[in-house]
Structure 1
Amino acid sequence: MMIVSKATISLVCLLLIASIFMANLLNIIATDHNFFTEDKGAEINYTRYLGKKYSQITDKGHNLIWFLQISDIHLSIFRDPGRISQFQQFCDNTVKSINPMVVLATGDLTDAKTKDNMGSSQVQREWIYYHNIIKESGVTGKTVWLDIRGNHDNFNIRTINAQENYFRNYSVQGVTHPKSYIHILNTNGLRVAFIGIDACPDPGIRRPFNFIGILDISEQQHLQKLKLEAEASADHIVWFGHYPTSCILSLEKDSQRLNIRQFIGNSKGSQVYACGHLHAMGGLVPRMYTLQQRGFLELELGDWKDNRMYRLAAIDHGIFSFVDQKHVTWPVVLITNPKHAQYAMPGREPLHLISESTHIRILAFSDVNIDSVQVSFDKINWLNCNLSEKPLYVCEWQPYVFESGVHYLHVLAMDEIGRKVIVEHPFSLDGSNLKFNITPRILLMLDAGTVFQTIFGTLLMLNVLPLVVLRVQRRPPKYRRKIAHKIFRRIWLLTKIDRIFYPLILYALYIPFGPWIIGELIDGYIGVVFAWGILIKGSFLPEPFTYMYGSVQLLFVHIPLVFILAYCLEMRLFGQSIRGMKRMLKNLPFIFLLSIQLLLAYFYWLEYGTMAFLFGPLRTWSVFLNILLWYKTLTLPQEYCRQLMKLNDLE
């Protein structure tokens, strides 16, 4: 009979858990679902309606609109004055040159940070800059400016009606639309509803606990009304907001919670949700796009703050297209027919019109005149495009040549001062598509709150279970690798010391249940922060970002502390002869850890003030606890040392 080792069983169990986890993850972030599977007739009827409405795509300029998006502007009076001057240039020059029907400003209009970059509060001068730039540029006379709040625009705001909520006084839409709202655009043969989703929590506490958007019951009901109005008045819906859907939490009512993705996707007219907030992960994920399982695109736009990005989008004969562009990079080119293969939305667009179209259609813009636009399928033979109606350039083509597979269209645009750009554009007529990258899908399709809770729960178990298991073992664990054997032997000995073991376990268990901060989370209002949410002003905010805050403590403080105390224990048992500078050097790991803790506690003070610093069990009090445990380990009584030495001699 074959004897299966514990290690083999453990490995099989881990592989099984990992495979189940990966299967669920891949299912959640899959982009090949057909949201019309349950009602195939709905797809046929809707696309047939759009096909009849728009007829054939030709060289004419009708049934076409275009608009811009800008996000995370972060106008600041303390840092990077280029944000202000170049935002003024955007309003004065870019908007004038592109002449969009609508501009979406999707949140974080101002920075709202203090000079030290740690504290957060609304700065009136920043809002005045925003207001004056829009007013003096005259941009609202040329287009419809639709702005909405982001989390920075909601820092330190007691209520939506508070005087400090400068969005109501200095933004374009805030005067009439302090929260979510709708704008119907009916022009050039298109009826498009733009719905802004304001998910800023009320009240708005200071950073960092303002990362996740929250839709309360009244706002969910308001959005339901806006959606009904859009479906009655428009053929297409463009949703926009600051937070990605992965960062929006809906409050429950009668055990029912609004699923924001299903809510957006339940309307056949929904085509895209445009957002910001994640700053393209510091520029590491510049193309943060995905097709949600309900069939609409979610497009996060890189920030203006550091990257000076904006988006040009268009709806041409019911087909949505877009391109993200760096500021003052000209010419700007957007191909609207044929559509980019990766961003096709079957059932939401009349994609069959592409194969029936007579002309390639290209929007080309520059701050001077466009000199020429050419197209090629092989980058060798170039065909000149004709200007139909500025800025639409067209070129005849024969779609049947490209009936199967993915093909590439190349566009060369040049303006009158010699600046040029070449765009490579994949397209298909048979439904062949290109896959979205996995990182954007994870960031936009998972639920951030669930991810934060999972990370926190995993780290909590790593802080508790290994110590408990080692505590109940009568003999130290054995490993072939000498260094692993030595480390686990140290920790095993540490768990045998009651005065060390119980404080480590009890503090780790305190973190998910006890208060972390008691302080002035909003000017004039005392609040209490727990792992599971925030209590302030008689309200409960289920802010999931707290879990990430606790995860930092568990990962960078509590886990290293266990290893450092185990190391100090060995020094106490076997290093009595170490003295002077050598002993000081041996304690450098704890000194480094203590420095990290003091820095984290100092951030507490900068973010929430003296009270939060003094009444901060998570950060400040843990400093004293860890010093005490370190001291107790280094000064362990002789009788403990003799007992541990005997245990250490066990084989």
Structure 2
Amino acid sequence: MSLSRSTITFICVLLLLSIIVATFLNSIATDHNFYLDSKAQEENHTRYLGRKYGQITDDPKNVVWFLQISDIHLSIFRDPGRISQFQQFCDVTVKIVKPMLVLASGDLTDAKAKDNLGSSQVKMEWVYYQNIIKESGVTDHTLWLDIRGNHDNFNIKTIDAEENFYRNFSVQGTQHQRSYVNIQEKNGVRIAFLGVDACPEPGIRRPFNFIGILDEGEQENLRRLKSEAIAQADQIIWFGHYPTSCILPLVINKQRMSLRDEIGDNAKTLAYLCGHLHSMGGFVPRMYTKQKRGYLELELADWKDSRMMRLMAVDHGLFSFVDQKHNTWPLVLVTNPKHAQYIMPGREPLELIEGSTHIRILAFSNVDIVDVKISFDKNNWQECLRREGPLYVCEWSPHLFAEGLHRLFVTVTDEMDKEVTIDHLFSLDGSVLGFEVNPRILLMLDATTIFQGIFATLLLATILPLVLLRFQKRPPKYHRRCGSNVLRRLWLLSKIDRIYYPLILYTIYLPFGPWAIGELIDDHIGIVFAWGIVVKGTYIPEAFTYMYGSVQLMFVQIPLFFVLAHSLTTKLFCQNIKGIRRLFSNLPFIFLLSIQLLLAYFFWLEYGTMAFVFGPLRTWSIPLNIILWYKTWNLPLDHCRKLRSLNDL
């Protein structure tokens, strides 16, 4: 039986889609067991931790806790609450929790102009940051580990530039300009905290500063720091500003450094903590996943708008965490048994949970806590005893929960009658909970690949339909009248050489030619391409340019085709309209032109007059589109007759 051409085409498309979907699902799968990848190393490591910590009892030893905040964005132009509440965090919260250390994972200051579009380092914002930390005395009783984010790198020529205020106004910048490791030993726990600085050099003004880069020097530095951490610590926690999905490694000597592999190829790594994505404006509040190498990647919602903080603990080698809004009390974290969603076989001594004698809970409040109780069914409540500091314990029998998932309810009440109840899922047989799809997409895929894919798809969607329609000898037909009319209009537009070729050539130009030439950094001229940026003689493979170009394609180029097709139809078949009716017929183009002018205005605020004048992407497209619209409305009579005859086919 012979197959028709359409059937073969359908089968090929179906196979291609199946491959794409399978690849996508495999990329965001979290059921990989790191323990199986290098069994000997992990068995030795967890056996060592098990012997070191022994049984989990009510003993207050072998537990430490620490805090993280991210994307503070201290600003002198907007939202003074960021400053006052950050001061409250340092003055009150840290002193209540008494953490071993605080991680501040980038974007310490806002570095944005009053118009919210321009960007440059603002010294006064750094002065506020430094003064709050000094005046609060937070560094007198805890360790403060801060690191740069992309906002802390706006408009900075080099790491040694005077404008790099991180060097002089941060806590760690005076000792560590870039990545560093800090090894802490307390209460029987020895952990290395490895900070990753992936800020590109030079630091361009926004928005082309979204993707982090690890150059050759920083890759070597990270490998050295990692070796030091492995040699001196029992477990490692990595932290940085950019998620691993937003860090672009450079290929050096035909070798590509994968940060995810560097983080995860040793059993001592527990987690990578980051910020930057701001929980996607609150739409993905729990941006957590387990990477394929078996460690957790946890993005923390911002301080800027959400005022979020994270409490973490390592108890007998088991890593636990909870994210909570600032100044919300009580603050509660169950450290044993560990939450089922975040267990890491081969990295933690999970067998200690099965042999433990006590449930362990850390509870904090801004007033005294009067009651901590637990239940497995919300009916039979048991009182917990306070052992030392924030540690509360309660005896339990793990063998009763040997199989499947179980729920532990914990209620904490303070003397102001503030009460919180948490629902804690756990398992002893390795049963796990899956992670949500959105966080897995955002943290496990490669942002650069996604940006390139979106740009390429829109580029093809812009070019191919018009090219295919031009080769159609007769008007295309569609089973719905509306769709048929739209296709007919575009088909007619594709037959006009003076319109068709400028549209196609400009679109083809976008992935190759310069988009803008201007001061991307103060006193330094740079050139923006789709595939990267050249400034100060340095090539920066900034992938966010693809998204910037996608905006132009989606909101200008593609709509332009339909607007011109509408204008052409009006010209051909409604020649007698005048006055207000003609104005209304041109409203689509006026609206589109307004969008273009707005985008060009924003670009001028971001990069200045030179980039605006020498800007083929944003600026030059405006006169081009006006000319095309004018030519459409002023087609010669012979062209109009020819198109009408074609329409009658």
Question: Which residue identity lines up with residue 135 of structure 1 in the other structure?
Answer: K
After the TM superposition, which residues 319-330 of structure 1 pair with which residues of structure 2 at under 5 Å, given as runs? 319-330=318-329
Alpha-carbon distance in structure 2 between the residues aligned to 1:12 and 1:363:
57
After the TM superposition, which residues 439-518 of structure 1 pair with which residues of structure 2 at under 5 Å, given as runs? 439-518=438-517
After the TM superposition, which residues 109-508 of structure 1 pair with which residues of structure 2 at under 5 Å, given as runs? 109-508=108-507
3-state DSSP of counterpart to 1:566: helix
Alpha-carbon distance in structure 1 between the residues aligned to 2:633 and 2:5:
38
Alpha carbons of structure 1 residues 492 and 10: separation in structure 2 relative to 1, 3 Å: farther
Displacement of 1:5 in angstroms is 6.8
Displacement of 1:15 in angstroms is 3.1
Alpha-carbon distance in structure 2 between the residues aligned to 1:303 and 1:418:
29
Displacement of 1:38 in angstroms is 3.5
3-state DSSP of counterpart to 1:61: coil
Task: Describe the superposition over 1:484-518 as per-residue Cα deviations: whole angstroms up to 9, x where unpaired.
Answer: 11101111111111111100110000000000010
Partner of 1:75: 74
Partner of 2:587: 588
Partner of 2:531: 532
Alpha-carbon distance in structure 2 between the residues aligned to 1:215 and 1:458:
28
Partner of 2:561: 562
Alpha-carbon distance in structure 2 between the residues aligned to 1:123 and 1:397:
55
Alpha-carbon distance in structure 1 between the residues aligned to 2:325 and 2:309:
7
Partner of 1:604: 603
Task: Describe the superposition over 1:151-201 as per-residue Cα deviations: whole angstroms up to 9, x where unpaired.
Answer: 000000000000000000100000000100000001111110000000000
Contact 2:361 2:391 in 1 (8 A): yes
* RMSD of aligned alpha carbons: 1.0
Identity %: 67
Displacement of 1:14 in angstroms is 3.5
Alpha-carbon distance in structure 2 between the residues aligned to 1:43 and 1:201:
35
Question: Which residue identity lines up with residue 537 of structure 2 in the other structure?
Answer: G
Alpha-carbon distance in structure 2 between the residues aligned to 1:151 and 1:353:
41
Question: Which residue identity lines up with residue 475 of structure 2 in the other structure?
Answer: P
| 1:544 partnered with 2:540 | no
Task: Describe the superposition over 1:59-112 as per-residue Cα deviations: whole angstroms up to 9, x where unpaired.
Answer: 001111100000000000000000000000000000000000010000000000
Partner of 2:612: 613
Alpha carbons of structure 1 residues 488 and 9: separation in structure 2 relative to 1, 3 Å: farther
Alpha-carbon distance in structure 1 between the residues aligned to 2:345 and 2:69:
27
3-state DSSP of counterpart to 1:157: coil
Alpha-carbon distance in structure 1 between the residues aligned to 2:473 and 2:251:
48
Task: Describe the superposition over 1:427-461 as per-residue Cα deviations: whole angstroms up to 9, x where unpaired.
Answer: 00000010000000000000000000000011111
Partner of 1:62: 61
3-state DSSP of counterpart to 1:210: coil
Alpha-carbon distance in structure 2 between the residues aligned to 1:593 and 1:382:
64
Displacement of 1:47 in angstroms is 1.2
Alpha carbons of structure 1 residues 3 and 266: separation in structure 2 relative to 1, 3 Å: closer
Displacement of 1:643 in angstroms is 1.1
Alpha-carbon distance in structure 2 between the residues aligned to 1:136 and 1:283:
32
Task: Describe the superposition over 1:399-449 as per-residue Cα deviations: whole angstroms up to 9, x where unpaired.
Answer: 000000000000000111111100100000000010000000000000000
Contact 2:312 2:320 in 1 (8 A): yes
TM-score, normalising length from structure 1? 0.99
Alpha-carbon distance in structure 2 between the residues aligned to 1:13 and 1:552:
31
Question: Which residue identity lines up with residue 624 of structure 1 in the other structure?
Answer: P
Question: Which residue identity lines up with residue 110 of structure 1 in the other structure?
Answer: T
Alpha-carbon distance in structure 1 between the residues aligned to 2:579 and 2:254:
64
Task: Describe the superposition over 1:100-134 as per-residue Cα deviations: whole angstroms up to 9, x where unpaired.
Answer: 00100000000000001010000000000000000
Alpha-carbon distance in structure 2 between the residues aligned to 1:104 and 1:120:
25
3-state DSSP of counterpart to 1:282: helix
Displacement of 1:42 in angstroms is 2.1
Task: Describe the superposition over 1:570-589 as per-residue Cα deviations: whole angstroms up to 9, x where unpaired.
Answer: 11110101111001001000
Question: Which residue identity lines up with residue 92 of structure 2 in the other structure?
Answer: N
3-state DSSP of counterpart to 2:624: helix
Partner of 2:24: 25
Between 40-49 and 372-381, the greater mean CA deviation after superposition: 40-49
Displacement of 1:11 in angstroms is 4.4
Alpha-carbon distance in structure 2 between the residues aligned to 1:543 and 1:108:
18
Unmatched segments (≥5 aa) in structure 2: none
Displacement of 1:12 in angstroms is 4.0
3-state DSSP of counterpart to 1:158: coil
Alpha-carbon distance in structure 1 between the residues aligned to 2:412 and 2:122:
43
| 1:578 partnered with 2:577 | yes
Task: Describe the superposition over 1:628-650 as per-residue Cα deviations: whole angstroms up to 9, x where unpaired.
Answer: 00000110111111111111111
Contact 2:68 2:102 in 1 (8 A): yes
Alpha-carbon distance in structure 2 between the residues aligned to 1:412 and 1:194:
32
Partner of 1:637: 636
Alpha-carbon distance in structure 2 between the residues aligned to 1:581 and 1:221:
68
Alpha carbons of structure 1 residues 522 and 424: separation in structure 2 relative to 1, 3 Å: same
Task: Describe the superposition over 1:545-598 as per-residue Cα deviations: whole angstroms up to 9, x where unpaired.
Answer: 000000000111000000111111111110101111001001000000000000
Partner of 2:88: 89
3-state DSSP of counterpart to 1:618: coil
3-state DSSP of counterpart to 2:393: strand
Question: Which residue identity lines up with residue 331 of structure 2 in the other structure?
Answer: V
Alpha-carbon distance in structure 1 between the residues aligned to 2:15 and 2:3:
20
Question: Which residue identity lines up with residue 234 of structure 1 in the other structure?
Answer: A
Alpha-carbon distance in structure 1 between the residues aligned to 2:67 and 2:9:
54
3-state DSSP of counterpart to 1:36: helix
Task: Describe the superposition over 1:220-275 as per-residue Cα deviations: whole angstroms up to 9, x where unpaired.
Answer: 00000000000000010000000000000111111111101011001110000000
Task: Describe the superposition over 1:195-224 as per-residue Cα deviations: whole angstroms up to 9, x where unpaired.
Answer: 000000000000000000001000000000
TM-score, normalising length from structure 2? 0.99
Alpha-carbon distance in structure 2 between the residues aligned to 1:629 and 1:20:
41
Alpha-carbon distance in structure 1 between the residues aligned to 2:38 and 2:511:
44
Alpha-carbon distance in structure 2 between the residues aligned to 1:489 and 1:516:
33
Between 485-494 and 37-46, the greater mean CA deviation after superposition: 37-46
Alpha-carbon distance in structure 1 between the residues aligned to 2:326 and 2:111:
23
Question: Which residue identity lines up with residue 98 of structure 2 in the other structure?
Answer: N
Contact 2:34 2:345 in 1 (8 A): no
Alpha-carbon distance in structure 2 between the residues aligned to 1:32 and 1:605:
47
3-state DSSP of counterpart to 2:327: coil
Displacement of 1:39 in angstroms is 2.6
Alpha-carbon distance in structure 1 between the residues aligned to 2:84 and 2:606:
29
Alpha-carbon distance in structure 2 between the residues aligned to 1:170 and 1:9:
65
Displacement of 1:368 in angstroms is 1.3
Question: Which residue identity lines up with residue 648 of structure 1 in the other structure?
Answer: N
Alpha-carbon distance in structure 1 between the residues aligned to 2:301 and 2:603:
29
Displacement of 1:367 in angstroms is 1.2
Question: Which residue identity lines up with residue 382 of structure 1 in the other structure?
Answer: W
Alignment length (residue pairs): 649
3-state DSSP of counterpart to 2:209: coil
Task: Describe the superposition over 1:461-483 as per-residue Cα deviations: whole angstroms up to 9, x where unpaired.
Answer: 11111111111111121111111
Question: Which residue identity lines up with residue 443 of structure 2 in the other structure?
Answer: L
Displacement of 1:9 in angstroms is 5.0
Question: Which residue identity lines up with residue 572 of structure 1 in the other structure?
Answer: K
